[in-house]
Structure 1
């Protein structure tokens, strides 16, 4: 893929991310995508906090799941698979919570660590505004044919 094509595909990915309803609901932003790497962010909000006022762990897990998936989109192997109509699905997601988040933004830097034929490995580090680690995560992905329940169905 030529540099112009890659840049255009990157811009399409970022534009599409801005339209994902869940991302908009929770304020999750895809800041950067590159082959094998992504940066995602979200801010602490009262409606995303648990009873103790800390950002809910599920929000951090969502940030990691999103970041690690977006780190894969521009890898040669996965880009070709997605353009051929296959979908990317999470097989396993693990999160290690290291520090609570009671305010500010959190940033997730994700990397693809191994792109195998069937299973794809990723890692993520989440930091706070002070650049201190608040969580680490890793995820496994695979691709599936578009016919495996990936089509959106509306109940209305």
Structure 2
């Protein structure tokens, strides 16, 4: 039986900061154009727009783009409910690609299924303009802060 996420653990200030962070993302999330549109207790929603440079040679969104979006929301959903200073690292995830994506936007909704002090299991549903296109589940390590060297 999954351990429920206790609402008292939810830090609305952290969630708000993460939602606003969208304009300041760096690296792959910035390149892909990932935008956080919702953060709630144990849930997160993020979106990206399908662009020509993200398509594979067959004209559909590359599966790696969907995987990167999934990986992003797998870990980010945890920050409002874990202790400050701890960090989340995906250890594994599986994605079922359900339908090809050619245009529009892709939205990923992550939900924490189980949360302990050291690990979490997160499910992610991905839609393309309201049509299911992927389903994923992953495990995330919740690590202690690294000591300064």
1:45 aligned partner:
51
Q: Matches of 2:132 and 2:32 in 1, distance apart?
A: 21
Q: Deviations over 1:56-108 (max 9, x none)?
A: 10110111111222222222xx1x1xx1x222101111100010001110111
Instruction: Tell me, yes or no, if structure 1 residue 138 matches structure 2 residue 137.
Output: yes
Q: Matches of 2:12 and 2:87 in 1, distance apart?
A: 21
Q: Which runs of 5+ in 1 are unaligned?
A: 149-156
Q: Matches of 2:77 and 2:21 in 1, distance apart?
A: 15
Aligned length: 138
1:118 aligned partner:
118
How large is the Cα RMSD of the aligned pairs?
1.9
2:14 aligned partner:
9
2:80 aligned partner:
74
TM-score by length of 2: 0.84
1:127 aligned partner:
127
Q: Which runs of 5+ in 2 are unaligned?
A: 1-7
2:38 aligned partner:
32
How many Å apart are 1:40 and its aligned residue?
Answer: 0.7
